[in-house]
């Protein structure tokens, strides 16, 4: 089973939607651009957001077991995927990349 590198690439923030629809919360996402996590199969990396993991984990699992070329050529790197978490107020975009043994 391969490990999968998860890199935070972008964080959006839709303040207009937050003001109109969201109840104030004390702690939102603690991710930062450039942050890197290494997933070992289905195991959620320490410190990774539970909600984001729910969204990215099926792709992490597939990549860790050798899947590639999602959606028939969607990504330039066949062993990668760009997935965003499901937070409609502050979505985070993650680049998922299969790590070969040489990359670790």
DSSP-based three-state secondary structure for 86: coil
Structure tokens at 90: 């502050």
Sign, CA dihedral 9-13-17-22, equals: positive
Q: Kindly report the number of other CB atoms within 10 A of residue 94's CB atom.
A: 24
For residues 8 and 52, what is the distance between their CA atoms, to the nearest angstrom? Answer: 11
- pLDDT tens for each residue of 11-47: 999 999 999 999 988 777 889 999 999 999 878 999 9
**Number of domains into which the chain is organized:** 1
Q: In this predicted model, what pLDDT tens digit does every residue of 38-92 receive, in sequence order? A: 999 878 999 999 999 999 999 999 999 999 999 999 999 999 999 999 999 999 9
d(CA 49, CA 101): 26
pLDDT of amino acid 15: 93
Instruction: Tell me the residue range of the domain where 39 lies.
Output: 3-103
Is the pLDDT confidence value at 104 over 60?
no
């Amino acid at each position: 089973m391969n490990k999968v590198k998860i890199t935070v690439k972008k964080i959006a923030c839709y303040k207009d939607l937050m003001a109109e629809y969201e109840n104030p919360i004390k702690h939102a996402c603690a991710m930062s651009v450039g942050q890197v996590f290494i997933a070992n199969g289905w195991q959620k990396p320490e410190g990774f957001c539970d909600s984001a993991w729910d969204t990215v984990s099926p792709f992490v699992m597939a990549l860790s077991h050798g899947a590639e070329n999602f959606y028939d050529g969607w990504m330039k790197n066949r062993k990668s995927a760009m997935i965003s978490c499901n937070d409609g107020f502050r979505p985070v975009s993650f680049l998922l990349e299969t790590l070969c043994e040489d990359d670790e």
